Amino acid sequence: MLRNVLTGAALACALTLATPLATFAAQDAKDDAKRAGQDAKDAGKDVGDAAKDAGKATKKAAKKTGQVTGDAAKETADSAKKAAKSAKPKSSAVACKDGTVQSGKTKTSACADHGGAKS
């Protein structure tokens, strides 16, 4: 009989002490899972911020490239205009039918008052 009482008491003590220990272990596991979830959330936010910064940098680089390309195109066009202007003679000397030599932008305008240009 004493053996049954002692066995029952030991069993009761073991169950009484094991329940709080299991509760503490479960709480620790819950806290660990919560911390892991928060860490994952923070990591995701960091990745999102990095992607946002990369997007801004790409946009800025594209804008700068567009500006440089536009400036180069404008300079090329301006240079082409200057070259075209310098290639054209401002006036040309033309022999007219009346024997005089006149100058003007075209043969027709140079000899307009002199009977036209000689052929």
**Domain boundaries along the sequence of the chain:** 2-88, 89-119
Nearest to 106 by CA among 119, 117, 118: 117
10 pLDDT band, cuts 50/70/90, is confident
C-alpha 94/C-alpha 102 separation (Å) is 5
pLDDT over 70 (residue 40): yes
Residues 82-114: pLDDT tens digits?
A: 887 776 666 778 899 999 999 888 888 888 888
Q: Which two tokens stand for residue 36?
A: 């892991």
Q: What's the whole-model pTM score?
A: 0.41
Whether 22 shows a pLDDT value over 60: the answer reads no
Residues whose CB is less than 8 angstroms from the CB of residue 108 and which lie 6 or more positions away in sequence, other chains included: 116, 117
Cβ-based burial of 110 (10 A; exposed 0-12, middle 13-18, buried ≥19): buried
Q: What is the mean pLDDT of residues 26-41?
A: 88
Q: Given pLDDT bands bounded at 50, 70 and 90, which one contains residue 70?
A: very high
Distance of alpha carbon 109 from alpha carbon 90, whole angstroms: 13
